[in-house]
Amino acid sequence: MDREIERKFFFSPNLWSAKALKSTVLEQGYLADTGAWEIRLRRAGSDCRFTVKKGVGLDREEWETRPSGPEFEALWGRTEGQRLVKVREKYGWKGLTVDVDRYGGKFEDLVVAEVEFPDLEQARRFVPPRAFGPELTYDPRYKNRALAGGRDPVPRGFPGGDDQEWAFGVVPFRRGPRGLEVVIVSTRRGDRWIFPKGQPETGIPPVKVALAEAREEAGLTGRVVGHPIVVPYVRETGTINLLLFPFQVTAVADRWLETGQRERKILPLGEAPAHGEVIRLGVEMLVHQFGTVGS
């Protein structure tokens, strides 16, 4: 199989002035109950394709072929209830192709940008332009397969105000004696491990909320050094949207505001993913965005 190395972002059309090279209406359908395999049928006019993908996140395996018309129609009938329609606009940008997708139906106010890369190094070095909002690569709710099944992600763009469907936090990392390390904290109830995070505060930008939580919940000082990502955060009251900023730690306090209320761990990168799905997604982002951070 080939590899698909792709990053996905919220997109603000009003901040984008480039002229589209091409605009195409895409119909996509997905076969149900295929486990770890994503099996997609796509039609753009008379061009029909059958695609198989495996994996999650930025780097996936991909295989594609062009079925005959009758073959496509026979399989298309099996995608009932797992379909979507979107308009794809192609743009050239600094030697790369930017695909902007405008969805139809219940997702008509969702606009995203996808950029495919020849290798992981170019994906890591990519600096998102101003029209690109938080990254969606690590949020499974924004996979086309999930959208086609009718799953409705709450956010359609960058959060603002005091929207309580959001929380803002950091993915703290540093280079320590054991190599790259990640800092995590427990909830106050001690029932799971999380990254430092907090609820929106009226008039305070998300990044400032996140930096304050790093100090108060984990005793961390540092700086934001990369592009924020969106991931789902499951609570007893339902799933909210967690905006996480990559945060390079420069100092770790012995005592801080919530000392005694939470446990703090500083872990080698390889040990952190076992501490929960949100931690795993944050670590995956660090590896992809920074590679050998702190060297």
CATH number for position 65: 2.40.320.10
CA gap 114, 100 in Å, rounded: 6
Residue with tokens 């952190």: 272
In the residue annotation, 30 being an active-site residue is answered as: yes
Q: Are residues 127 and 254 in the same domain?
A: no
134, 242: one domain: no
Residue-wise pLDDT for 41-78, tens only, equals 999 999 999 999 987 778 888 999 999 999 999 999 99
185 or 179: whose pLDDT is higher?
185
C-beta neighbour count of 243 within 10 angstroms:
26
Q: How confident is the model at residue 155 (pLDDT cuts 50, 70, 90)?
A: confident
pLDDT top residue among 165 and 264: 264
Q: Which one of 30, 103, 138, 142 is the catalytic residue?
A: 30
pLDDT > 50? residue 293 = no
Same domain, 143 and 13: yes
Mean pLDDT throughout 160-180?
83
What is the pLDDT confidence band of residue 237, given thresholds at 50, 70 and 90?
confident
| Same domain for 171 and 123 | no
At 272 the pLDDT is 95
Q: Beta partners for 171?
A: 246
Distance (Å, whole) CA 201 – CA 209: 7
- Average pLDDT value over all residues in the chain: 91
- Cα(11)–Cα(101) distance, integer angstroms: 9
Quick check: is 9 in a domain? yes
- The per-residue pLDDT for 239 is 87
Read off the CATH number of the domain in which 190 is found.
Answer: 3.90.79.10
Q: Convert the pLDDT of each residue in 197-226 to its tens digit.
A: 999 988 899 999 999 999 999 999 999 998
**What phi and psi values does residue 210 have, to the nearest 5 degrees?**
-60, -45
Taken in order 24, 112, 291, 93, is the CA torsion positive or negative? Answer: positive
In a domain, 154, yes or no: no
- Say if residue 141 is in the same domain as residue 196: no
- pLDDT at 1 (0 to 100): 61
**Range of 237's domain?**
166-290
pTM for the complete prediction?
0.91
In the chain, the number of structural domains is 2
Q: Are residues 105 and 195 in the same domain?
A: no
Same-domain check for residues 70 and 190: no
Residues with Cβ within 8 Å of residue 198, at least 6 apart in sequence: 167, 168, 169, 209, 210, 212, 213, 216, 217
- Give one DSSP letter per residue of 21-78, joined into a string: SEEEEEEEEE-SS-TTEEEEEEEETTEEEEEEEE--SSEEEEEEE---HHHHHHHHGG
Of the residues 94, 122, 148, the one at which a domain ends: 148
User: Are residues 142 and 6 part of one domain?
Assistant: yes
Percent of the chain with pLDDT over 70: 95
Residue 150 has pLDDT above 90, yes or no: no
Residue 159 lies inside a defined structural domain of this protein: no
Structure confidence by residue, pLDDT tens digits, 238-291: 888 999 999 999 999 999 999 999 999 999 999 999 999 999 999 999 988 876
Percent of the chain with pLDDT over 90: 75
Of residues 100 and 288, more confidence is placed in 100
The answer to whether 74 touches 92, Cβ cutoff 8 Å, is no
* Residue bearing the bigger pLDDT, 51 or 36: 51
Is residue 23 one of the residues assigned to a domain? yes
